[in-house]
Structure 1
Amino acid sequence: MLVVDDEPQMTIIIEYALQTQGFTVLTASDGATALNLLRTHAVDLVVLDVMMPAMDGITLCGRIRSRSDVPVMLLTALSQHDDVIVGLENGADDYVTKPFHPREVALRAQALVRRHRRGSGAVMRVGRLVIDPVTQSATLGRHRLDLPFTEFKLLTHLASRRGVPQSWRDLLREVWGAADLLGGRDVVKSTVYRLRSRLAGAPGGSAYIHTLRGVGYLMPDLPVEARGVDPADEPDGPSAG
């Protein structure tokens, strides 16, 4: 695990709490050092303070997420709810507010690592949608979906619960790992909107996420379509020659 915090005393507390749970811990006091460690070491989780000089935790979280799906836990003050929302939208998986009990951080860390390892499973198919959790890739017909990490997690969760409505609280808990969050409903709504827009860019993509008024969101359990050339994937107009 990697702990990133510019306060040495806080780093020592978190490091000890994680070590008591059997984790090997690396530490960094700034974003540049953290990125270098991530290039040279395989880690199961990054515990990241939001308020840091030079490169703040939100920026670092985005940098990490652009190159890795390693789980990220944010450490924030109670007054930093807006930062938490931005962090979750940029791919953070969980957050803990200060002051906190060190054992809470360790237990949340264990849960995140377990969930991340469990998420590396079999390929899922819904209609013409194919999701591969191992390679973190998704295609709709012959169209590859270029999804940020959180949108991919959202798509994967909806596909794994296809046919079952998911409330925004369900999604906040399962996708973002947050039981409660100020503004959480808006976080979920905006992420669903972005994901739906990306799906709609491919033929037939608008059929994959439904909004159920007063209930939540649903991916219908569409029958898997046979592979092959789909007319919707063919370019418009007569063929050349």
Structure 2
Amino acid sequence: MVDAGPLAFVVDDEPAMLDIITFALQTQGMRFESFRSAEAAWSALQVTRPDLIVLDVMLPGISGVTLCRRIKANWDIPIILLTAKGEPADRIEGLEAEADDYIVKPFHPRELALRAQRLLKNGGDSTRLGTVVGTVQLDPSGVEVVIAGTRIALTSNEFKVLSALMTQPNVPLGFNRLLTAGWGDIDRLGGREMIKTTVYRLRHKLDAAVPESGQLVESVRGTGYLLRGTVGA
């Protein structure tokens, strides 16, 4: 283990995979703590908050998806899910658990290293903080939006996607633009599913706060999404 740098929790029950993951993280100057079960990682989280979690889906006992949901319900820690399953339904399940990224095994260590580094970098991005559209305002915390006076907690990806939509209200933004805003690149498997799942969760949170306003984030067939610029007007 290195002595400085961001701390990552690595959760995988395969020793060989733990070696690959930790090697990849060390190339980016990260520290790590490794765990063989979701229960062990959860216990450690009660004491220490890492900067990143790399989490295998298939674990003995509690699954990685279940642990991901539990973590995201309590803290906004970036999570990369790892799985041997590459079907769209499996990726969607991971994204619905609010994972920030999803990598299918086998993968190149360099890919994991770059995605981990990008997540940490994007997590500190404070662009467009304080943007206001109607009664929707991005909070300077980078993890909340204030809508009609109500504070709503967002994941980092939801915040970034909403931020992008708010830069150009009433203008449709394409999937690639939103994928770049939320995850930093467009070259990833299941990109559209990631956007659709994130927007679904975002809509649910926004519309629950102001149900009388109708749907605030609208689909534009064949293009992407837009935020209505007359929100709350």
Bin of the TM-score, shorter chain as denominator length: 0.7 to 0.9
1:209 to 214, 217, 225: 217
CA positional deviation for 1:133: 5.0
Confirm whether residue 127 of structure 1 aligns to residue 126 of structure 2: no
Aligned residue for 1:25, secondary structure, equals strand
Confirm whether residue 102 of structure 1 aligns to residue 103 of structure 2: no
TM-score by length of 1: 0.78
Aligned residue for 2:173, secondary structure, equals coil
Distance (whole Å) between structure 2 residues aligned to residue 173 and residue 82 of structure 1: 22
CA positional deviation for 1:221: 4.8
Distance (whole Å) between structure 2 residues aligned to residue 7 and residue 65 of structure 1: 24
Please list the CA deviations of residues 85-126 of structure 1 after superposition, one character each: whole Å capped at 9, or x if unmatched.
Answer: 111122111122111111211111111100111148732221
Please list every run of 5 or more consecutive structure 1 residues that lacks an aligned counterpart in the other structure: 226-241
CA positional deviation for 1:34: 1.0
Aligned residue for 1:130, secondary structure, equals strand
2:119 to 103, 109, 112: 112
What's the % identity of the aligned pairs?
A: 42
CA positional deviation for 1:29: 0.8
Match of 2:73 in 1: 66
| Structure-to-structure mapping, 1:30-109, within 5 angstroms | 30-109=37-116
Confirm whether residue 141 of structure 1 aligns to residue 141 of structure 2: no
Please list the CA deviations of residues 57-98 of structure 1 after superposition, one character each: whole Å capped at 9, or x if unmatched.
Answer: 111110111111111111111445422211112211112211
Moved more, 156-165 or 9-18: 156-165
Corresponding residue pairs, total: 224
- Structure 1 residue identity aligned to 2:112: V
Distance (whole Å) between structure 2 residues aligned to residue 12 and residue 214 of structure 1: 43
Larger radius of gyration: 1
Change in Cα spacing, 1:197 to 1:59, as seen in structure 2 (3 Å) is closer
CA positional deviation for 1:144: 3.6
Aligned residue for 1:118, secondary structure, equals coil
Distance (whole Å) between structure 1 residues aligned to residue 89 and residue 183 of structure 2: 15
Aligned residue for 2:60, secondary structure, equals coil
